[in-house]
Amino acid sequence: MRKVIYFFLLISGFVQAQELNCTVQINTQTLTNSNQPIFKTLERSLNEFVNNTKWTNKPYKQNEKIDCAMVINVTTYGSDQFVATIQVSSSRPIYNSTYSSPVFNFNDKDFSFRYIEYENLIFNPNSFDSNLVSVLAFYCNVIIGIDADTFSPLGGSDYFRTAQEIGSLAQSGNYKGWSQADGNQTRFMLTNELMSGTFEAIRLAMYNYHSKGLDKMSEDLKGGKEKVKEAIISLNKVYSSRPNAFLTRVFFDAKSDEIQSVFSGGPQIAIADLVDSLNKFSPINSSKWSTIKF
């Protein structure tokens, strides 16, 4: 759908709009000094930065912006130093419906940064200047990339590559989350797996799940469910070689509730093999899979 819109806007000469419709929230509930005005200033500045920066060279209409959210939970603050976590989520509309499907939901626990009230937040793709700016720019590109993957096979590669380049530059700042040595559920691992051929089946499943599955349900509900099922079972290609893949977990963190809902109602299709696969791929969600009816 967005490809058609891109082409139409290009030939029409419409003014380009930014890509994201993002809500950035600063949560300071655990702090004793949470009433300081710097938190409101920071929240306002981050909303302006994320939503007013042009992240791609593609045109977007206002109603084509990607809905997303970033919740920054500040756990420690002193002087100009912040220690936090950041929860990033995004969704995309389903064709010919009012439903918005969650496509990304990730909790980054390694987020510390320096910020002085009223400082300008400017993203320079060729240098590392601020961990605050780099982390948000990283996730903006990941959000756009994942969204693009749902509309065309491997459509998000350019944006994942940009996110990976942001990460490479950020390693010079010695902040956690950018290095392979920082663990197996980090920003580094996220883009490393998104750009790896080993995990390509997960990205292709995102396209088939949404464009061939959910988007077709308004025309053929049963056929669309079959395609969603096929997309999920195709994750066997990754499971057979990487049974505990980080990217598989990221997939189900976003999709588990939706999968439970899709396959808990009519029309009926054969799902015994689907439930077996779900319990294998994501045993942590076994309580949800147990509610899916055969």
> 10-67, pLDDT tens digit by residue?
333 344 578 999 999 999 999 988 888 999 999 999 999 999 999 999 888 888 899 9
Q: What is the pLDDT of residue 13?
A: 36
Please state, in angstroms and as integers, the Cα–Cα distance from residue 268 to each residue in 95, 165, 173, 181, 243, following that order: 22, 45, 53, 47, 29
- Residues 152, 208: Cα–Cα separation, whole Å: 9
- Residues 191, 146: Cα–Cα separation, whole Å: 11
Six-digit token pair at 279? 């319990």
What single string gives the DSSP state of each residue in 233-257? Answer: HTTHHHHTT-TT-HHHHHHHHHHHH
Q: What is the pLDDT of residue 294?
A: 60
> 158-205, pLDDT tens digit by residue?
999 999 999 999 999 999 999 999 999 999 999 999 999 999 999 999
Burial of 139 per CB tally in 10 Å (0-12, 13-18, 19+): buried
Helix, strand, coil shares of the chain, percent, nearest 5, are: 50, 15, 30
Q: What is the pLDDT of residue 260?
A: 97
pLDDT at residue 245 is higher than 50: yes
From 25-34, 92-101, 243-252, the region with the lowest mean pLDDT = 25-34
Phi, psi of 115 (to 5 degrees): -150, 130
- Residues 110, 240: Cα–Cα separation, whole Å: 30
In sequence order, the β-bridge partners of residue 73 are 27, 85
Q: What is the pLDDT of residue 9?
A: 36
- Residues 46, 24: Cα–Cα separation, whole Å: 7
Q: Can you list the pairs that 93-98 forms with residues at least 24 positions away whose Cβ atoms lie under 8 Å?
A: 94/210, 94/214, 94/215, 94/217, 94/218, 95/1, 95/214, 95/215, 95/216, 95/218, 96/215, 96/218, 96/219, 97/217, 97/218
Q: What is the pLDDT of residue 169?
A: 98
Residue 153 near residue 112 (C-beta atoms within 8 A): no
Average confidence score pLDDT of the chain: 93
> 103-123, pLDDT tens digit by residue?
999 999 999 999 999 999 999
Q: What is the pLDDT of residue 5?
A: 38
Residue 111 near residue 84 (C-beta atoms within 8 A): yes
Handedness of CA 192, 195, 197, 201 (dihedral sign): positive
pLDDT at residue 262 is higher than 90: yes
For residue 8, name the pLDDT band (cuts at 50, 70, 90): very low
Q: What is the pLDDT of residue 6?
A: 36
Which residue reads 């994201």 in tokens? 20
Is the bond into 267 cis (omega within 30 degrees of 0)? yes
Q: What is the pLDDT of residue 16?
A: 54
Residue 134 near residue 162 (C-beta atoms within 8 A): no
Q: What is the pLDDT of residue 140?
A: 98
3-class DSSP assignment, residue 223: helix
Q: What is the pLDDT of residue 249?
A: 98
